[in-house]
């Protein structure tokens, strides 16, 4: 049986994942409005992945016989001073999410909830990739500096990203 404390922690994580989707969607809209269509695409794919994560956690709760508790999702920031600032925020946000996921893993171990621990390990590993991707983008933007051609190249590269459902049925 899953504990009430774990149901709350996982429900809070659903909210965090859906906030992440909302944040990345806002970032995508900002990038699109600034004519960075490829960066907008990358962020839109990121938003869709975060939404899939939230749905996946809800399914886990339901499979464990628990009912998720849904809370209000706060409004994200709507604009950024630059693409560099935007990607700095992506990196900081992913580090924050890693901390949330690690707390759930710690709680699962503490409660000897092996099913949730096994479940949350997918997210622990996913966050390693998410942080590395975000840091790489921060480095690329910094490397490009004020060279518009390099930013345009990055924009074109990021435009090729496609959404792949991480949890296909």
DSSP string for residues in 30-55: HHHHTT-HHHHHHHHHHHHHHHHHHH
Domains of the chain: 4-158 (1.20.1260.10)
Helix/strand/coil for 107:
helix
What φ, ψ does residue 45 adopt, rounded to 5°? -60, -40
pLDDT digits (tens, 9 = 90+) for 10-55: 999 999 999 999 999 999 999 999 999 999 999 999 999 999 999 9
Q: Which is nearest to 103 in space by CA: 123, 89, 88?
A: 123
User: pTM for the complete prediction?
Assistant: 0.94
Alpha-carbon distance 20 to 124, whole Å?
Answer: 16
82 burial class (0-12, 13-18, 19+ CB within 10 angstroms)?
Answer: exposed
pLDDT digits (tens, 9 = 90+) for 119-161: 999 999 999 999 999 999 999 999 998 888 898 999 999 999 9
């Amino acid at each position: 049986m899953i504990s009430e404390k774990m149901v709350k922690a996982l429900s809070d994580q659903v909210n965090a994942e859906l906030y992440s989707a909302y944040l990345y969607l806002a970032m995508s809209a900002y990038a699109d409005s600034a004519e960075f269509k490829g960066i907008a695409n990358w962020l839109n794919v990121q938003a869709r992945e975060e939404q899939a994560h939230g749905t996946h956690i809800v399914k886990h709760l339901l499979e464990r016989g628990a009912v998720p508790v849904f809370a209000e999702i706060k409004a994200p920031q709507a604009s950024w001073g630059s693409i560099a600032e935007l990607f700095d925020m992506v990196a900081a946000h992913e580090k924050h999410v890693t901390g949330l996921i690690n707390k759930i893993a710690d709680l699962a171990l503490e409660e000897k909830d092996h099913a949730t621990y096994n479940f949350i390990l997918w997210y622990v590993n996913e966050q390693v990739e998410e942080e590395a991707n975000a840091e790489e983008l921060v480095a690329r933007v910094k490397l490009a500096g004020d060279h518009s051609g390099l930013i345009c190249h990055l924009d074109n590269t990021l435009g090729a990203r496609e959404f792949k459902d991480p949890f296909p049925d």
